[in-house]
Every structure is written in C-alpha cells, then in structure tokens.
Amino acid sequence: MFLLSAFGYSSPFWLTYRQAQIGGHVREGEHGAPLVFWKEWEREDRDTGEAAKIPILRHYTVFHASQIDGIDHLIPPGGVFDQPNTPIERCQQVVRNMPRRPAIRHDFDRAFYRPSDDMVGMPKIGAFDTAEAYHATLFHELAHSTGHKDRLNRPSIVEAVHFGSESYGKEELIAEMTAAFLCGHTGIETATLDNSAAYVAGWLRAIRKDARLVVTAAAAAQRAADFVLGQSAA
C-alpha cells in the first residue's frame, strides 16, 4: 500500500500484466509500479521434525486500472468513486490566495505535480472518499510546487530524482509535512491525520539512515507552508 499510494491514483485497482490479459490489455507505453510483499511459510524440519518458518519475499510489477483497456466490466460498481463531496471554503481560500500558484487541472486519474509544466494534476473531488482527503492531497501537490525554481528552488524538485531514492523520499516527506501543516491551518487535520501519519512513517522507514531528516524536512515543510499561505518573503 505504501509504494502504490505514492503514485497518487484515486482508485485502488491494480493488476499484473498477466491479469490484465484476461479480457483486456495494458496500453502500449504504460509503465508498471513495483509491488512487494513477504510472508512466512511453515513446514516441518526434516532433521528435527519440528515446525520451521521460512520467510518468502516476492515482488511483482502491477498496472493501475486506468492504464488498462478492456476491463471496465471488471471494476466493481462504485469502484470509480463519485462521492457527493463539497469543496471546503477555508481550504479553497488557501488555494486561491497562494502566491504565484501553479496551474491546477482536474479529471486526471491520479494526483501529481509536473515541474516541467509547473502544473498540478488532480482527480475530481468526487473521486475521493471525503472532501478533506481531496484537499489534503491538493495541499500535498501544491507543496511540491513550492520547490519550483521560481519559488523556493528546492533541489529535490529542481534536480532530477528517481522514485525510491533518498532525495525522492525527502521530497515526499516535505510535501506530506507541508500538507499536514496546511490541514492544521484550515482545521481539517482530525480527518486526515491518520493517513498523513502513516504516509510520513513509511517514508521515514525508507530513509531512516539520516537521523537529521525529520528536523531538516520539517524546516523545509514550514518554509513551503509559509509560501503557500503568503507568509514567505521568497
């Protein structure tokens, strides 16, 4: 869940390449995502006769449902959410008043920030379980946008980074901490705290070798939140 949530898709449906071939096919040019899990397999030790547990690690490449043609009939009813969510005005006010705000476009299958176009892409608000979840995700992507060269010029946005790298993880940590600050500012933190904490904990585990990470990321997140709120001199 941790790896797949980093891709920002709004619906939770993923298939392996082989699964997609049952009635459908992965579109040409699409790239899969890594999925990893491990479990313990119990068997009898031949020498002692006692039960022995053997750890098994497996990995797969999976594709999101939106990357696959011909499987619409396999998606459960309500699987592509269309919730009657209403925008939260105090959150919308923060977005509207952000200085030098990037372009924001909706109706994408996932949430993302694209530095080359200085554009935030978002699923529609009804694709999220709650309006609070939508705004928390939007805050996360706007946090990434503060790193643009014409704003705070953050190396983890300006320079090329690879998924799963330390720089990528640090940028995700900054963005999620920024989103948490903005959720607190707008009063929606009680509805988003659990997801935010789990997301931050996941990235901390991925890059915990840097003991200073929390302090440096939190400082960068505060600068990003101040920028979004128009409280920065940058």
Residue 191 has pLDDT above 70, yes or no: no
The per-residue pLDDT for 233 is 58
- To the nearest whole percent, how much of the chain has pLDDT over 90? 41
Q: What is the pLDDT of residue 59?
A: 86
Q: Who contacts 20 (Cβ-Cβ below 8 Å, separation ≥6)?
A: 26, 63, 68, 71
pTM over 0.85: no
Q: Average pLDDT, whole number, for the chain?
A: 84
Lowest-pLDDT range, 37-41, 62-66, 172-176, 211-215? 211-215
Give the per-residue pLDDT at 103: 97
pLDDT at residue 129 in the model: 80
Residue with the bigger pLDDT between 176 and 76: it is 176
Residues 9-42 have pLDDT tens digits of 767 788 999 999 888 999 999 999 888 877 777 8
Q: At what angle do helices 131-145 and 89-97 cross, to 10 degrees?
A: 10
pLDDT at 106: 92
Specify the pLDDT at position 137. Answer: 92
Angstrom distances, CA of residue 177 to CA of 57, 96, 182, 207, 234? 31, 20, 9, 15, 19
pLDDT level of residue 55 (50, 70, 90 thresholds): confident
Question: Distance between CA 105 and CA 1 in Å, rounded?
Answer: 26
Identify the pLDDT of residue 39. Answer: 77
The 10 Å CB-count burial string (b at 16+, else e) for 35-44 is eeeeeeeeee
CB-based contacts of 47, cutoff 8 Å, min separation 6 = none
107 CB contacts (<8 Å, ≥6 apart)? 123, 124
Give the residue, 98 or 58, on which the prediction is more confident.
98
Which residues partner with 34 through β-bridges?
61
pLDDT at 140: 94
pLDDT greater than 60 at residue 93 = yes
Domain boundaries, the chain: 2-74, 89-228
128: left (phi over 0), alpha (psi -120 to 50) or beta: beta
Length of the chain: 234
Statement: residue 149 has pLDDT above 90: yes
Contacts of 192 (CB under 8 A, 6+ apart): 132, 133, 136, 179, 180, 183
Average pLDDT over residues 175-189: 90
Decide if pLDDT at 200 tops 60.
Answer: yes
**Which amino acid makes up residue 93?**
Q
Q: How far apart are alpha carbons 23 and 5 in whole angstroms?
A: 26
pLDDT, residue 78, reads: 47
